[in-house]
Amino acid sequence: MDKKSELLNLFTRKCQENDLKITPQRTAIYQELISALDHPSADVIYKRVRKKFPNISLDTVNRTVLSFAELGIVRVVEGYGKPKRFDPNTENHHHFQCVKCHKIIDFHNKEYDQLEIPKHIGNKLKVLNKKVVLEGFCAECRK
């Protein structure tokens, strides 16, 4: 089974486990997410899905991708003042974000995965996830 089929099976299972109807619109939104390589925002997903579903609203797309994040089938990539972007890769990984073109690139790094939580934070807070975001210029923007 290929990766997209595995992800669609996960989508179906998570929706069923959480009593979320599997509608054609939700399926199209999720398919767009797993096909996208650019960590799209809700607005970008909306523009792409609207070609197939002209009556879909931006609010529907936004609520849907946020519900997918709650189900754990996508991750939110915070925009730090810009719109949230969404990542269907829920495996542990980190991001590089270009400050010029805003491209987001996934990368893996075992040392970052194993960062220790400072004791003053770990004693007061419950850390659920660790992500490293590097910022700079991508190869295209460095030229």
pLDDT of residue 3: 87
In the CATH hierarchy, which top-level class contains the domain 94-142?
Answer: alpha beta
Burial class (CB in 10 A: 0-12, 13-18, 19+), 45: buried
CATH fold for domain 3-87: Arc Repressor Mutant, subunit A (1.10.10)
pLDDT of residue 122: 83
Query: Residue 106 forms beta bridges with which residues?
Result: 95
Could you tell me which of 18, 4, 24 has the C-alpha nearest to residue 67? 18
pLDDT of residue 8: 93
Question: Which sequence spans correspond to the domains of the chain?
Answer: 3-87, 94-142
pLDDT of residue 79: 66
Rounded Cα–Cα distance for residues 107 and 132 (Å): 10
Residue 95's SS3 state is: strand
pLDDT tens by residue, the chain, 143 residues: 788 899 999 999 999 999 999 999 999 999 999 999 899 999 999 999 999 999 999 999 999 999 999 999 999 987 667 889 999 988 889 999 999 998 999 999 999 999 999 999 888 998 888 888 899 999 999 98
Check if 3-87 and 94-142 are the same fold: no
